[in-house]
Amino acid sequence: MNELKVTIFKRKSNWYNGCMRYLSVLLGYLKWHYGKALFTTFALWRNFSVFVFNFFSIKSLASNFFTPWKRLAETYPKGIHLQEDLEIFLVNTMMRFVGMVLRTIMLAIGLFCYFIFLLSMPFFLIVWLLLPPFILLLIVFGLILIFSNSIWK
């Protein structure tokens, strides 16, 4: 009789330890998901934000907005040469205008990508926060479908 009680206790103990092992893994995952991984995700987003800002050289393009394209500019000759000075002035003005137009296009593309990234961050945060409950809901729903009588009919 004593051996039977010990055997039953061992079976309950093994079942309990197995369940607690799975529960421990689940709680550890949730602690990681909502703790360390969430803060790591924020650091990753900051790095992506800096990357997009630097990839399009937004600061550099804005600070050099009025400089000539590829620094192509003619130098003025010494002395007074009205026609040459006017030609050089027009070439330099055109190069500044070309530089402004191309920098405006690059700034627009860069800022568009940056704002798309900023607007997508809250969406991904919500998905990240709702992912574990959603997976649990899918598991429960699947078990309900498996064990319901309507599926076997």
Domain assignments of the chain as residue spans, ordered by start: 35-120
Buried b vs exposed e over 15-36: b needs ≥16 C-beta within 10 Å? Answer: eeeeeeeeeeeeeeeeeeeeee
Question: Is the pLDDT reported for residue 71 higher than 70?
Answer: no
Instruction: Specify the pTM.
Output: 0.66
Q: What is the pLDDT of residues 15-67, one digit of tens each?
A: 667 777 888 888 888 899 899 998 999 999 999 999 998 998 888 888 888 77
pLDDT of res. 134: 94
Burial class (CB in 10 A: 0-12, 13-18, 19+), 135: exposed
Question: Is the pLDDT reported for residue 73 higher than 80?
Answer: no
Q: Which of 76-80, 88-92, 101-105 has the highest mean pLDDT?
A: 101-105
Inter-CA distances, 39 with 35, 51, 118, Å = 6, 18, 17
